[in-house]
Amino acid sequence: MPYLYDWSPVKKVWIKELEVKEHHKVHWEMDPEKKKDYDGYILHDQTGNIWHNQYPSAAYEQFSNEADYLFQRHFPGEKEELDAYFNDPKEPADFKLLSNVYSRIAKGINQCKDVADNVQKDPEERKRGEELVKLLTLVKEDIDNQLKETFKKKMESKPLYEGSKLLKWNIIDL
């Protein structure tokens, strides 16, 4: 996710449209009984590459469900194909769900604005907050432009529930 924790500039924002081709019940990777209580997906991109989400097993940590939002490129096991990819990658091998990334960017912008707007904070901290707002806003604008130009879509937010300040982001057609 391009959150810029280390102040490294985001060189490129990649957006990929994936289509679910198969849904499977899968086991949690740490379950010794291998009970198939979770959902796993096989997806394809426009060029025919295969991607997995929580497949062939589900990955959950004690305090995280991040793998629910992660899509990983599947390499069918041909060493030559794998070597060729990693020697000259044309795109990332992992993608995250856009609405999840977008939500975090929007939240980051708001948090940094709070820091930048707080007059009681150290001037250096305020300046860092302002700089992060600018950087995150550039990433957000890049995502907005790609969605509009390439996919004819946009991000839309709604309150998570009535009266909530938390927002749920969805991708909708223009």
Is residue 174 scored above 80 in pLDDT?
yes
Residue 4 has pLDDT above 60, yes or no: no
79 CB neighbour count, 10 Å cutoff: 8
Is residue 107 a contact partner of residue 115, using CB atoms and an 8 Å limit? no
Task: For 87-127, write each residue's pLDDT tens digit.
Answer: 777 888 889 999 888 888 888 888 888 776 765 667 887 78
Co-location of 169 and 122 in the same domain: yes
- Judged against a pLDDT cut of 50, whether residue 168 lies above it is answered with yes
Question: Residue 93: what pLDDT?
Answer: 85
Report the share of the chain in percent with pLDDT over 70: 92
Could you give the number of structural domains in the chain? 2
Give the domain-ending residue among 55, 80, 96: 96
Strand-pair partners of 149: none
Query: Domain boundary residue among 46, 65, 96?
Result: 96
Mean pLDDT throughout 60-78?
85
Residue 67 has pLDDT above 60, yes or no: yes
**Structural domain boundaries, residue 57:** 19-96
- Is 4 domain-assigned? no
Q: Is 126 contained in some domain?
A: yes
Mark which of 96, 119, 141 sits at the end of a domain: 96
Same domain, 71 and 110: no
Residue with tokens 């879509």: 153
- Residue 8 has a pLDDT of 63
Q: Is the pTM of this model over 0.95?
A: no
